[in-house]
Each structure stands twice: as C-alpha cells, then as structure tokens.
Amino acid sequence: MKAKTLFDKIWDAHVVKEVEGGPSVLYIDQHLIHEVTSPVAFLGLESRGLKVLRPEKTVATPDHNVPTINQHLSIKDELSRHQVEMLKRNCEKHGIVHHGLGSDGHGVVHIIGPEMGLTKPGMTIVCGDSHTSTHGAFGAIAFGIGTSEVEMVLASQCIMQPKPKKMLISVNGKLNKGVTAKDIALYVIAQISTSGGTGHFVEFAGSAIESLSMEGRMTLCNMSIECGARGGMIAPDQTTFDYVKGRQFAPKGEEWDNALAYWKTLKSDADAVFDTLYEFDAANIEPMITFGTNPGMGIGISQYVPNSDKLTGNDKLTYEKSLKYMGYDQGDKMVGKQIDYVFVGSCTNGRIEDFRAFAAFVNGKKKAANVTAWIVPGSRAVEKQIIAEGLVEILNEAGFELRQPGCSACLAMNDDKIPEGKYSVSTSNRNFEGRQGPGARTLLASPLTAAAAAVTGRITDPREFL
Amino acid sequence: MSYDKFTTLTSPAVPLPIENIDTDQIIPARFLKAVERKGFGDNLFRDWRYDKNNQPIADFPLNKAKYSGKILVGGKNFGSGSSREHAAWAIYDYGFRVVVSSFFADIFQGNALNNGILPVVVSPEFLEKIFTAIEADNNSQFEVDLQNQKFTICATGESADFTINPYKKHCLTHGLDDIDYLVNMKEEIAAFEAK
C-alpha cells in the first residue's frame, strides 16, 4: 500500500466523492459557528428553502463581538448585540446547541471545542474563522472557511475542497529557556514568510514539537494560518490522549478503547512523501517579537529592526510603509522601546497554561504605571480555573484585573480597542494595520514576553527575569 | 448566493501595488457586524481610503479619478489573513469582477470564486507589465477571457494564460455555486454516513 501522511489518512477517510476536474467533496465531522460569519449563511439557507442537515454536528458560541466586562448587562453596541442575538435565534430555529454569553460553556470558539472534548484526533473540523487551524493540534484536519462554505456545511455536512499540498515542518532539539510555542510559531513564519505555506497543509513534527503540551500545540497550529497554510496538524500521542480522556464529549468505556486504537494509527508513514520540507533547530529560537505589520515580520527579541537594503520595488515600498505605520526605523533595537498596552488572551494564547505563565512571571512584581493591561481568559472554563488555582489573587496583587471571556483586543470588533498610535504587546495572532483598532500598533509576542513588558512598561527580554 | 455569470470582460484596471494586502485592510473588522450581505463596497479598503474624519485620502488609488474599471490589480499574497468572506463581498459590491495578483491567499481565492469574482494569477514579471501599462495610460484596456483562460494587455497585445479549476470555471461561467451541487448529493452523503 502507498505510504501516506497523517493528512492523507484523515483526508482519504472523509472523501465522499471526487468531482471530475474539480475539488473533493469532503465530509465534515464537527462544524463550529460564531456570530460574525454565520448570519448570511443562515439567510442563504432559508432563501433556498433548505434545513440544516445535521444540526447535532454544529456547535455555536458568540465570541468576536462580546464585551469582556459586565457580561450580565445587555451589549451596548447595537450592531454587536443584534449579531449576537441573531446567532441565538438561528440556533434555536435550527436546533443547534448554542453556548450563550454568560453560560458555563461560553468562550472563544477555538478554546471551547477542545475543552469540551468536541475536538478529537482523526476528525475533520471547520469553522468560518481562519484560526480553526488550532484544532489540528489533536491530529485533526481543521481549517477556516468562508460564509458560502458555512452555508454548504449547514446544508450538506460537506464541503468542496481541492486537496492541498503537504508540508512537513520539523523542529528538533531542546527549546531554550523562555522560549514557548508562540515563539516557535513566530520564528517559523519569519523564516518561511506569510505566504510560505500557501496551498499547503502543514504537519509539525520533531522532538521540540513533541515536548509541547496540548496548549502549546494549539498555539502553534493556531498560527499555522499566518504562514498562509490551510492549516497545521500534529500527530496525536500520549499527551493528546491524556488531554482528551474524560472530557465531556470524549468517548467512554469500550468506545474509548476503539477510538484509541484508531488514533494510534494516525501518524505519517515513515516513507510518506511531502511536497515541501523544512527543518529547524530549536536551539536557534529565542523569544520573538514582531516589529512590522504582518506576522512574518518577527525577530528575536535581542535583535534590531532589519534594514531594507536587500529589497527592491514593491517589496521595499511595502516594507517601508509598514515601518512608517509602526513608527520604527531600520536598525532600531527592539528591547527598551516604550509600550502602552498589554493584551493576554485570544484563541492563540487564551488557555490556562498562558495565564499560569503570565501569573508566575508577574508574581511579586507590579504592573508598570504606563501600561494598560487586558487579561482575558479564552473561556468561562479557563476563567474558573484561573480563579480555582488562585492565579487571580496573584494578578490582582500585581495590579492586573481579570476580564471575562471573548476575542477581546485580538480584533477591533468589540469594546476592547487599542487607541490610535499606541503600542500593544499582544499575545494574539495578527499585527495587521488597524487590527486592534484604527491606527493601533501591535507587537506580537508570547505571554512571557507580554508579562515582561507589562511589569517594565517597555519591550523587555523575559529571560532577564528567569 | 447568486452572482452574475462570467464570460469575458474588457475593462481598464485599478492598480494597488502593495504586497500582502490582508483582509483586515480590505474590510476592517468593525464593518463585519451586518447580518445581511449588502453595502460592504462602501467600506472597501476603508482605512486606506478615508482618514479618521471620513475624508477621502487623495493619493489612495481608489480615490483617484484617473483610475476606473472592473479589474483590481494587487501586489503578491493578496487576501491573506482572516477568512472573512466580507472581503470578497466588498470587492464585488464595489464593482470589481476580477482581481489580478502574482499570488493569492488560499481562503480568499476560494471566497472570491464562490462570489463571482475571478482571481487571476500571473507571473511577477507580467504583473509588473500590467502596472506599467496602467501607468503609461490610465485608460489602458485589459481583456479577461475566462473561456480561453487568457489575460491580455490590449495596448501591447501581450497575454498571459491563467489556470482555474475546471469545475470552478463551469460554476463561474454559469453563475452556479457549490451548494446547488451538494444538495443534489443527499443520497451519496447519507450512504457515506452509513459506512
């Protein structure tokens, strides 16, 4: 039998039909929806007189628009409130489980799926959100889709997709002190660029990847879209099985044994062929920070803003436009630059491990006076765990307040917006112009680097404190 | 969603020689709160088109009267970032039917095709030729021939072939979409589920 990659094994098991000269019809095991990219899909469905084919395979939660304080009050912004209410109404009408604002199951869609055990190895998972790639951490094929495709999945539980090419990114060796999954992600994107993965589905492998917790793996796969890839995935192993076991929607008893036997087969065959290969040495990765306006514009925190000498034409113009937006010059040292905001949260770094790392760092220290910090759990479950583990006292003692779950300052759709011209060290995923608010300047980093910035008020190498 | 059938198009083009144009620039997140698919064209490239007082920024190409047409020409890696289909809706609603670049982000490319917009990939060298032709004459015409998969700079007669999935070409030519196809597969889907 032909050797297969992890991706091939799951893809092939889900092809309902190959369309002649066209894409594959792929069956979707789990569909996740949120309030922003679903309303037009429901409208489309209704205008065609169609029903949701398998409502039990879709789960909904509002996350992009929600405020992160006073969630018991009505949402102030009328359009946001309408969109959130529309999601609830559409779910009620079509029999879809909806984890509303304030409910125990509420949270960022990519945080609650794994938490509940909805995300499992071997599945196909889609959502109208590019960061659906997060779920690939479990050895699933998970990718973001557009609203037309949301409508397709609602109508048919299938999607039409051309089969992407396959890329293997290996990171081997031991991670340096202070280097997290976020730094691996930013390092890889800086190496292969924001379009290096386009047309591909990535498998991450190697000893540095295997050493990551599930939270870390989710952070890495989450960011795989930022190198242009359709998604990223990691072969499931004991770390994965231990995480899934016992969760609400995890298989139980004999079903667990059967599932586990199958999951153990989900790895790339030794002689499987990838279209593109990259290999990196973990020893070369230091804590990363971005200096420009796309996630590929990242450097080791001890480095200087690169100059544009080697660039020509539109490359050079685009690079210089980006630095101008950021208010930085070529050759600037990143460490020591003053910052204004710190955001810890999002589907990238809004899980318990991220808040543990942040709290451990700020324990016994004080928030810098010039910094406004938004500490936003990814879900109600994360919020509860932060409280249960006593992290909230540490945060409060250091001058930080814990907010309520939502996408928050990752994208400027809710009240948490970074003001024009201000610098934000953010654990989120995108530093595009205006991403965190019109004119906002985003510096992507790990929770550790965010913590170092929060207590010093400047870009600071977290290793100085470790 | 229904859209106009696409066959051939001859039009001037609007140049946007910037690379990595992400979907947050095409349509910023704060304009994604609508629950219907209309009016997004007004906010296409909002923060590049208008200043904070909502005044048009004079040197942004969409604000220059000398540029017009149904073809948008962008730098490489067009449409990166968020999966928001609103980006494709905004481009269509504004009046563009073709986007040309040397490289498109995957999700945007799919969203464009699902909304009657033809993404045309040309070589970096040919892309430069298109920008040069527009600079030489703002009304320079370009022909997009979907049937023959050919993009022509009318002034010089130079042309480039482009690729498109045959199924997607069929859909675009006939104004059909994937949902029409999938809902006719009910039995095959049920059979797959029963396996």
Regions of chain A short of the pLDDT cut 50: none
The pLDDT of B48-59, averaged and rounded, is: 96
B2, two tokens: 């229904």
**What does the pLDDT look like over B89-139, one tens digit per residue?**
999 999 999 999 999 999 999 999 999 999 999 999 999 999 999 999 999
Reading the block at residue A193, the tokens are 């660029």
Residue spans of beta strands (DSSP E) within B58-121: 71-74, 98-101, 118-121
Indicate yes or no: CB of B179 within 8 angstroms of CB of A151.
Answer: yes
Asked if the Cβ–Cβ distance from B29 to A411 is below 8 Å, we say yes
Which distant-in-sequence residues (6+ apart) come within 8 Å of A348 by Cβ? A131, A182, A219, A222, A223, A410, A427, A428, A429
Distance between CA A352 and CA B155 in Å, rounded?
Answer: 60
Of residues A434, A417, A144, the one with CA closest to residue B84: A144
The three-class DSSP label of residue A55 is helix
Of all residues in chain B, the one with the smallest CA distance to A436 is B29
Identify the CA nearest to A229 among candidates A284, A188, A282, A280.
Answer: A188
A295/B88 Cα distance (integer angstroms) = 22
Of the candidates A429, A240, A442, A434, the residue with the CA atom closest to the CA atom of residue A349: A429
Identify which of A430, A457, A453, A450 has the alpha carbon closest to the alpha carbon of residue A442: A430
CB contact under 8 A, A44 and B18: no
Query: What's phi and psi for B59, nearest 5 deg?
Result: -90, 10
Query: Among A144, A152, A434, whose Cβ lies nearest the Cβ of B178?
Result: A152
Q: How many CA atoms lie within 13 A of A264 on its CB side?
A: 8
Question: What whole-number distance in Å separates Cα of residue B99 and Cα of residue B23?
Answer: 14
On whether the CB atoms of residues B76 and B103 are closer than 8 A, the answer is yes
A18 and chain B: CB distance < 8 Å anywhere?
Answer: no
Phi-psi region of B45 (alpha: psi -120 to 50; beta: other; left: phi over 0): left
d(CA A159, CA A165): 18
d(CA A308, CA A299): 15
Residue A405 is classified by DSSP as S
Query: Rounded to the nearest 10 degrees, how much is the dihedral formed by the CA atoms of A129, A134, A140, A141?
Result: 40
The token pair that represents A345 in the structure block: 């949260």
B38 touching A, CB under 8 A?
no
- Cα–Cα distance measured from residue A401 to residue A266, given in angstroms and rounded to the nearest whole number: 42
Chain B environment of A158 (Cβ under 8 Å): 182, 185, 189
Report the DSSP beta bridge partners of residue A202.
A167, A232
- Which chain A residues in 433-462 lie under 8 Å from chain B, judged by CB atoms? 433-435, 438-439
Task: Give the C-alpha separation, B189 to A185, whole Å.
Answer: 37
Helices (H), A14-64: 39-47
Overall pTM surpassing 0.95 (yes/no) = yes
Query: Over 70: is that where the pLDDT of B2 sits?
Result: no
A:122-161 residues touching chain B, CB 8 A cutoff: 128-130, 144-149, 151-152, 155-160
- B129 chain-A contacts, CB cut-off 8 A: none
The answer to whether the beta carbons of residues B172 and B146 sit under 8 Å apart is yes
Beta bridge partners of B151: B144, B160
Nearest by CB: B83 against A146, A158, A430: A146
Q: What is the DSSP letter of B96?
A: -
Minimum Cα–Cα distance from A44: chain B residue: B1
Quick one: tokens of A55? 């409502």
Which run of H or E residues covers position A28? none
CA dihedral B92, B95, B101, B105 (to 10 degrees): -20
Q: Of B28, B83, B179, which is closest to A152 when you measure between CB atoms? A: B179
The single residue listed with the structure tokens 């022909």 is B143
Asked if A406 is an interface residue toward chain B (Cβ–Cβ < 8 A), one would say no
Q: How open is the CA angle A362-A363-A365, to the nearest 5 degrees? A: 65
Chain A, 202 to 261: residues with Cβ < 8 Å from chain B are 228, 230
Q: Which residue has the tokens 């230091």?
A: A286
What values do phi and psi take at B193, rounded to 5?
-65, -30
DSSP A307: P
Strands A231-233 and A200-205: parallel
The residues facing B16 across adjacent strands are: B74
Confidence at residue B176, expressed as pLDDT on a 0 to 100 scale: 86
Round the average pLDDT of chain B to a whole number and report it: 95
The angle at the Cα of A64, spanning A409 to A292, to the nearest 5 degrees, equals 40
Tokens of A418: 């970074």
Supply the pLDDT for residue B1.
53
> According to the model, what pLDDT value does residue B195 have?
87
Contacts of residue A130 in chain B, CB cutoff 8 Å?
A: 81-83, 107
- Cβ atoms of B29 and A412 within 8 Å: the answer is yes
DSSP-derived pairing of the beta strands B150-153 and B142-145: antiparallel
Look at residue A79 in the predicted model and tell me its pLDDT: 96
Instruction: Collect all residues of chain B within an 8 Å Cβ-Cβ radius of residue A438.
Output: 28, 47, 52
Q: Where are the beta strands (DSSP E) in A237-318?
A: 276-281, 288-290, 298-300
Q: What is the pLDDT confidence band of residue B180, given thresholds at 50, 70 and 90?
A: confident
A55 in contact with chain B, both atoms CB, cutoff 8 A: no
Instruction: For residue A374, give the 3-state DSSP assignment.
Output: strand
